[in-house]
Structure 1
Amino acid sequence: MNGYVSLTLIASTFATSAFAVDVDLDQLRSDVAKYKDVTVALADGYILPENHCVSAKGEGLPPELGAMGLHYINPMLLEITATAPRVDGKSTYTDWKQPSVLIYEPQEDGSLELVAVENLVFEAAWNGAAKSEELVLNGRKWDHMADDASTPGDEAHGFMPHYDQHVWLFRENPMGELMPFNPNATCDHHKP
């Protein structure tokens, strides 16, 4: 047995510690439906830190992945400490009853349609709080996002390294309701 196989077998015998939660998506949809009206989101403290609609093409990824949209963040929930050169914070917030990020798709008539929600945990804050568990929602591990300076896109979308999880509540996603991009979402009507 070679060393690689031995290490693989040893590693597979230990359970990975995970911060795993299961969320009833119908209940979550009901909880956040009030934010279909962006003025309600603004009144509850959500802001658009930069007028950037995240699309796969814009991030240097295959265009057929689609888009995410405009990310309205809640600075209090994310405990924002800086917005330049990247958004940074102390958040280890994982409560899905009020997600820290609301995602809107710009419409042709200039309105915004709520399509998804997201929670975001800053990597340094998570590690600093001595949390070593993997974040998992409904069986899916959260994405780790960190910009790779050697690529043309911004893999962390203007944020410091973080973990995030999207939930497509109001737009069908053929790749899965917990995937970051959605081929059925677009930034085509965004006016920067």
Structure 2
Amino acid sequence: MSSCKTLHLRGVLPVLCGATMMLASPSAAQDADAPEPTLEEVRAATERFRDIEVALAEGYIPDPMNMCEVATDMGYPAELGGMGIHYFRPDMLGISGPPDPRVDGNGTHTDFRQPSILIYEPMADGSLELVAVENLVFREGWHAAGNAERPSFHGVPYDMMEDDPETEVDEAHGFAPHYDRHVWIYRENPNGVFKPFNPAVTCEHHHAGH
């Protein structure tokens, strides 16, 4: 019999049921042994996810509140731009239970050939356009697995995200302290291909809850 777990992720409560949790979890050893892919290889390996139905079929979970994140949500200047709507694989992130008090996990997956997070921009016609891919590892779990340094991609260390309790915004958007890396291979980013926000991405066509 399958069971469901309710997780608070990016400020909402998605329900993760048996079909998703039955997906094969990626192995850390596979990540460590695989050579680092080029950006062209990452794009070739993820091209199929431009079709959102393919992402859903492969176990990526949408935010049921359909949140679209921009720089100001995390306390950064508006001119940095947006991220978009995140679809994620809980098994790759190592999430196995509800927040306590924040979403946390022990996954060590960093292979961009199969990213743990896909990022989409809502379009005027109601469709979603894939704009970036992302990998994320939680800080405690990453170092508990024996990693001394934060992960890196193409020689660039992942960004560190942690909430500052002295501010009104949540810089870590409901997550425990973590490292993440965005790769903008489907939408040119004036800020840089590895920066978290993109001024060429907008949430103006986003409708919360739809």
TM-score of the aligned structures, taking structure 2 as reference length: 0.78
> How much has 1:188 moved relative to structure 2?
1.2
Distance 2:89 2:204 in 1: 25
Higher strand share: 1
Cα shift at 1:147: 0.9
Count of equivalent residues? 173
CA distance, structure 1, for counterparts of residue 58 and residue 166 of structure 2: 38
Alignment partners' CA distance in 1, 2:201 and 2:138? 26
Question: How many angstroms does 1:189 deviate by?
Answer: 1.2
- Residue 65, structure 1, aligned to residue 65, structure 2: no
- AA aligned to 2:97 is A
Larger Rg: 1
2:164 to 148, 154, 170: 148
- CA-CA distance at 1:22 after TM superposition: 4.3
Sequence identity (%): 52
Distance 1:58 1:185, change over 3 A: same
1:47 aligned to 40, 57, 61, which one? 61
User: In structure 1, what residue type is equivalent to 2:178?
Assistant: H
Which residue does the alignment assign to 2:124? 108
Partners of 1:107 and 1:156 lie apart in 2 by 26
Choose the corresponding residue for 2:42, options 20, 23, 28.
28
Question: Which of 137, 144, 154 is the matching residue for 1:128?
Answer: 144
What SS does the corresponding residue of 2:197 show, helix, strand or coil?
coil
For 1:153-168, what aligned pairs fall within 5 Å after superposition?
153-168=169-184
**Cα offset, 1:153, TM superposition:** 1.8
2:113 equivalent to 1:97: yes
- The TM-score with structure 1 as length reference comes to 0.85
Bigger drift between 99-108 and 82-91 goes to 82-91
Give distance in 1, aligned partners of 2:150 and 2:177: 15
Q: Distance in 2 between matches of 1:77 and 1:134?
A: 17
> Does the 8 Å CA contact 1:53/1:187 hold for their aligned counterparts?
yes
Instruction: Decide whether the 8 Å contact of 1:173 with 1:184 is kept in 2.
Output: yes
Aligned mates of 1:171, 1:92 — CA distance in 2? 26
The ranges of structure 1 where at least 4 consecutive aligned residues each deviate by more than 4 angstroms after the TM superposition are none
- Kept in 2, the 8 Å contact 1:66–1:185? The answer is yes
Deviation at 1:55, TM superposition (A): 0.1
**Which segments of 5 or more consecutive residues in structure 1 lack a partner in the other structure?**
1-18
- Greater displacement, 30-39 / 43-52: 43-52
Aligned equivalent of 1:177: 193
Whether 2:206 is the aligned partner of 1:190: answer yes
Q: Which amino acid aligns with 1:23?
A: P
Cα separation, 2, equivalents of 1:51 and 1:151: 24
Match of residue 17 from structure 2: none
Find the aligned partners of 1:123 and 1:134 in 2 and give their Cα distance. 8
- Structure 2 alignment gaps of length 5 or more: 1-31
CA RMSD between the two structures: 1.6
Output the CA distance in 1 between the equivalents of 2:104 and 2:167. 21
Cα deviation 1:35-73 (Å, max 9, x = unaligned):
001110000000024522110122221110000111111
